[in-house]
Amino acid sequence: MNIQNNERAFKPAEYKSAVKPVWCPGCGDHSVLLSIQRALAELALPPEEVAVVSGIGCSSRIPAYTNCYGFHGVHGRSLALATGLKVARPDLTVLVASGDGDGFSIGGNHFLHACRRNVDLTYIVMDNRIYGMTKGQPSPTTEPDWDTAIAPGGTGLSPFHPLVIALASGANYIARAFSGDISGCAKLIVDAIRSPGFSFVQILSPCVTFRPDQQKGWKDFIRPAMVPETDDHGRAARRLMTDDGFNIGVLFRGARPPYQPQPLDHRDPSHLEAEFVL
Amino acid sequence: MTQTGQETISVVLTGSGGAGVMTAGQTLLDAAASLGLYGLMTRSTGPQIRGGEAAALLRFGRRPVLSHGDRFDLLVALDFENISRFGAEIPLGASSVVIADPAAGDPPEFVVASGARIVHVELAKLAKTIPGGRISMVALGALAQMIGLPESAIVGAVAASVGKKKPDAIVTSEKAVALGAAAAATLTPGARIAAPDRLDSERWSITGNEATGYGAIKGGIRFVAGYPITPATEILEWMAPTLRQCGGVLVQAEDELASINMIIGSSFGGAPSLTATAGPGLSLMIESLGLAVASETPLVVVDVMRSGPSTGIATKSEQSDLNIAVNGLHGDAPHVVVAPTDVSDCLLTAQWATHLAESLQTPVIMLSDQSIGQARAIIDRPEDVAFTATRDIWTGGESPYLRYGLTDSGVSAMAIPGTPGGQHTADGLTHNERGTPSSQAHDHVAQLDKRQRKLENFDYSDHWAEIDGDGEIAVVTWGSSTAPIREAIAAARDRGAKIKLIALRLIAPAQPQKLAAALAGVKRVLVIEQSHSGQFWRYLRAHYDLPGEVTPIFRSGPLPFRPGEIGGYLAHGGL
Ligand SMILES: Cc1ncc(C[n+]2csc(CCOP(=O)(O)OP(=O)(O)O)c2C)c(N)n1
Ligand code: SF4
Ligand SMILES: [Mg+2]
């Protein structure tokens, strides 16, 4: 993304709307909202030049809480909507917000193709390993033994690894953050926005209501990634495959040029008639 | 050509894969057009992905031809392999002539049963006498001779298509055409085409899908996302390069869920946007079409209908997506559905669809179909119509900005990202005027009212229907059924019948007052459509009070309506 140096400085509060979040007190998503505000202020992006696109879920409520342009679409399709917006309007900074259900389950196919297509988007997935909005069903990242009403005793299915999938699908930037560390989270979002092409940031964002274990547990596990960031797919693959899900930081940074189809010309459509005229 | 031939003539070329039937058909159409004839060409192929048997079905006339006739005057069979599968699509009669290669063996049962006169020309043997000679060119020569087209027109069309770079190919074709023509000259003549009037108008050769693409670009479309599907793919393929010449782009999506959402995003960004699909794709798009309704995002979805349900017959036509197009969305979700009446009308309808979507900030579904979309026709240059995309754009003003403000018209100005002060979140959740999510009854009702009001208040002008003629009997129809009905009505009028034709271009929202006015004085209504369950008739019953006696006539695809079949219905109705 091309970031110009804008004339004036912006405060994080200027990116917040008057709409009061519906989130539970203590939900990690409050901190993600704050991190996004800080990141946009750091980049001094005028709010009207930023669009935040989302699907459905607690996490996907975020656009209306920002003072940017927003689109709160249907469940699972935010990446497609954001792709159309960014291709049509390359001048905008487009953030996409999602949850582990929205992004990896119902929207899984779009995730693969967004990584592969490499449009210049920043994809923030608030992963709480649960469907929060529908009140506690397992998601593709939920542990196999997590007991829920719909899957008593656990699903018995091993969770999948979104970062590995992103790497295999061609994502240009892969990072993990923790909502409990707002300034660390904001720094990663700044970096992701600056990084050209498709940037994927998984933010571990606890659901205090349906995953009360996360609030305390995650703080103990979270650690900065021990090895420096890499642009090597092989090394990144090995690291991500053996990763326990709690290493924070930039885990892969590629150099693939973004996909941005451009018009070739701006001719009047009437010239196309020549093809039909006998 | 003589002045005394038939007004129209129908010919069909059949052959197995690689015989060059489609190219020959195209050459024939070009040749006829160069002589000032109008024409129509459709294709039929077997289920093989490539190769396999194929038929090029053509009809020419001194007047515009937009549907096939009742039977084929001439069938030229390069071989008889598997052509029985086309039997039902190739009606022949005792006056028909079949030119076949004696080496092709016995003609299939449907040919024999028709009583058509079968004549032999040694197509393959003659072709072999010329180095590089093609059977299809010999066949074209014979065909031209039989129906009275000059050989020079065929050779001219070959030259125009292969270009100056291949003078040898032109000479070879010329020889092959001459051999075919000489062989056919010894045969008893069959039906011949009357010479056309002087060619003084600009003519186009265009398919329905191309006309749709061009109409859309002319209407202002600048972003397209789509996923390939028969019979809509040609719209995407035609638009991919042409859009880029006109300031737009096309993205191939990973599926239809993505295509519809991509165009919601691009339209939110300010670009008039379109996708093209068929029934299976439209089914996948339905949830997001509701999002476009609720978020008031303008867009156009072209559904080139094919026989359904499910995968159905991907390559054959039907008018059976009307129900899903009108009623497929959950909740109360008013939107616009329009339909072109023929190949030429695709241009106007696509342009109008774009105009309606942009003006009303709502999704517009355009129901084309396979028989229109994949047909190529020689038409008069369509009239220029002026409407282009006109979106009410917010450029500043009141604060806070009310994206979904309750205006009298129901349309509220849309702020495009980048506009300072216009920030809002477009939402599929029930919202208030500002766009803020709300579960309050009054917001829900106010926004439902607003979205209905904008469709009801709009002036759809005369474009809502094609109305033709007068009489106490009216045929009400839509889409591709219109062209054969037009022809049947013209024939009935020649016999003194007075019949009015009303073909709806605007399917939804319904226009009860306009139709009532159009039906004033009518005592009998025939409703004609190509669906198995009478979807259109049932839709009319739900929204309109049709006067007098109403006779619904409906049947499924894939076989097209023919003028004679419609004429039978008209006669049966005591006309
Ligand atoms: C098509 C469709 N199916 C199901 C739902 C119901 N639904 C709403 S949110 C959601 C899951 C959200 O989970 P996630 O994306 O992890 O978000 P979270 O609430 O945890 O932040 C589901 C299944 C829906 N809105 N739309
Ligand atoms: S249910 Fe969970 S994810 Fe949803 S708002 Fe409450 S804490 Fe957050
Ligand atoms: Mg979740």
Q: Is the CB of A102 under 6 A from ligand 1?
A: yes
Which pLDDT does position B323 carry in this prediction?
98
Using the predicted structure, report yes or no on whether residue B574 has a pLDDT greater than 50.
no
Residues B326-337 have a mean pLDDT of 98
- Looking from the CA of B412 toward its CB, the CA atoms found within 13 Å total 22
If you count them, how many residues does chain B have? 575
Which pLDDT does position A227 carry in this prediction?
86
Q: Are B154 and B165 in contact (CB under 8 A)?
A: no
Spatial CB neighbours of A208, under 8 Å, sequence gap ≥ 6: A24, A25, A26, A27, A28, A214, A215
What CATH architecture does domain B8-185 belong to?
Answer: 3-Layer(aba) Sandwich (3.40)
Rounded CA-CA distance B442/B439 in Å is 9
Which pLDDT does position B3 carry in this prediction?
65
Rounded CA-CA distance A115/A119 in Å is 8
A79's enclosing H/E stretch is helix A78-88
| Residues, CB within 5 angstroms of ligand 3 (ion) | A 99-100, 128
Beta bridge partners, B501, equal B468, B475
**Class for the domain spanning B205-373:** alpha beta
Which pLDDT does position B282 carry in this prediction?
98
pLDDT tens readout for residues B86-124: 899 999 999 999 999 998 889 999 999 999 999 999 999
Q: Are B269 and B298 in contact (CB under 8 A)?
A: no
Token couple for B571: 């006669």
Residues B216-230 have a mean pLDDT of 98
Of B257, B570, B218, B242, whose CA–CA distance to B387 is shortest? B218
Q: Is the CB of A58 under 6 A from ligand 2?
A: yes
CATH fold of the domain at B461-572: Rossmann fold (3.40.50)
Quote the CATH superfamily of domain A18-275.
Answer: Thiamin diphosphate (ThDP)-binding fold, Pyr/PP domains (3.40.50.970)
Residues B202-225 have a mean pLDDT of 97
> Which range (A137-151, B21-35, B162-176, B483-497) has the least confidence?
B162-176
> Ligand 1 centre and the CA of A278: distance in Å?
55
> What is the amino acid identity at position B36?
G
Using the predicted structure, report yes or no on whether residue A214 has a pLDDT greater than 70.
yes
pLDDT tens readout for residues B457-479: 999 999 999 999 999 999 999 99
Tell me whether the CATH fold assigned to B205-373 matches the one assigned to B461-572.
yes
> What is the amino acid identity at position A52?
V
Q: Tell me which of B207, B227, B266, B425 to substitute to probe the interface with A (most A C-beta atoms closer than 10 Å).
A: B425
Q: Is the CB of A29 under 6 A from ligand 2?
A: yes
Q: Is the CB of A58 under 6 A from ligand 1?
A: yes
Asked if the peptide bond before residue B400 counts as cis, ω within 30 degrees of 0, the response is: yes
**C-alpha Rg value of chain B to the nearest Å:** 26
> Which residues of chain A lie closer than 8 angstroms to B218, CB-CB?
269-270
**C-alpha Rg value of chain A to the nearest Å:** 19
> Would you tell me which residues 246-275 of chain B have a C-beta closer than 8 angstroms to some C-beta of chain A?
246-251, 253-255, 257-271, 273
Between A246 and A4, residue with greater pLDDT: A246
Which ligand has the shortest distance to the CA of A26? 2
pLDDT tens readout for residues B232-247: 999 999 999 999 999 9
> Which residues of chain A lie closer than 8 angstroms to B204, CB-CB?
273, 276-278
> Which residues of chain A lie closer than 8 angstroms to B250, CB-CB?
261
Q: Tell me which of A37, A54, A56, A89 to substitute to probe the interface with B (most B C-beta atoms closer than 10 Å).
A: A89
pLDDT tens readout for residues A44-69: 999 999 999 999 999 999 999 999 99
> Ligand 2 centre and the CA of B361: distance in Å?
34
Which ligand has the shortest distance to the CA of A60? 1
Domain ranges of chain A: 18-275
Rounded CA-CA distance B530/B525 in Å is 17
Domain ranges of chain B: 8-185, 205-373, 392-458, 461-572
Using the predicted structure, report yes or no on whether residue B4 has a pLDDT greater than 90.
no
Tell me whether residues B253 and A69 touch, CB distance under 8 A.
no
* Cα angle B171, B174, B179; round to 5: 130
A55 interface with B at CB cutoff 8 Å: no
Using the predicted structure, report yes or no on whether residue A254 has a pLDDT greater than 70.
yes
Q: Is the CB of A126 under 6 A from ligand 2?
A: no
Which pLDDT does position B575 carry in this prediction?
44
Q: What is the pLDDT confidence band of residue B573, given thresholds at 50, 70 and 90?
A: low
Q: Is the CB of A131 under 6 A from ligand 2?
A: no
A103 interface with B at CB cutoff 8 Å: no
User: Which chain B residue shows the shortest CA-CA distance from A69?
Assistant: B423
Using the predicted structure, report yes or no on whether residue A2 has a pLDDT greater than 60.
no
Q: Is the CB of A100 under 6 A from ligand 2?
A: no
Give the residue, out of A20, A22, A27, A100, with the most ligand 2 atoms within 8 A of its beta carbon, to mutate for a pocket test. A27
Which pLDDT does position A216 carry in this prediction?
85
Using the predicted structure, report yes or no on whether residue A268 has a pLDDT greater than 70.
yes
Which pLDDT does position B47 carry in this prediction?
74
> What is the amino acid identity at position B511?
Q
B430 interface with A at CB cutoff 8 Å: no
Among B242, B422, B428, the residue with its CB nearest the CB of A74 is B428
Among A80, A81, A266, the residue with its CB nearest the CB of B247 is A266
